[in-house]
Amino acid sequence: EGFLDWSHLQTLIRVDSETRDHSGRCLAYETRYFLCSFAPERLTPSQWLHAVRAHWGVESAPQAHGKEGSTMS
């Protein structure tokens, strides 16, 4: 019931990402999971990746964290 009702869930995406320095040395490795009510075939793998990157782009934008020098409208 409520938050325990996942009947609308259709897609689970796992994204493994690495952060590397200029020499190519791995600095960090992270696994993220994304849940979606869209059917998996609704998007191509490239489109899913774009959607994930767009989501994290919003989350990590300077405006989202109130960084000095940013403006919010």
Task: Give the pLDDT confidence of 31-71 residue by residue, as tens digits.
Answer: 989 999 999 999 999 999 898 888 877 555 555 444 444 44
Which residues have CB under 8 Å from 39's CB, separation 6+? 10, 11
Provide the whole-model pTM.
Answer: 0.59
Q: Contact at 8 Å (CB) between 46 and 15?
A: no
Question: Quick check: 6 pLDDT over 80?
Answer: yes
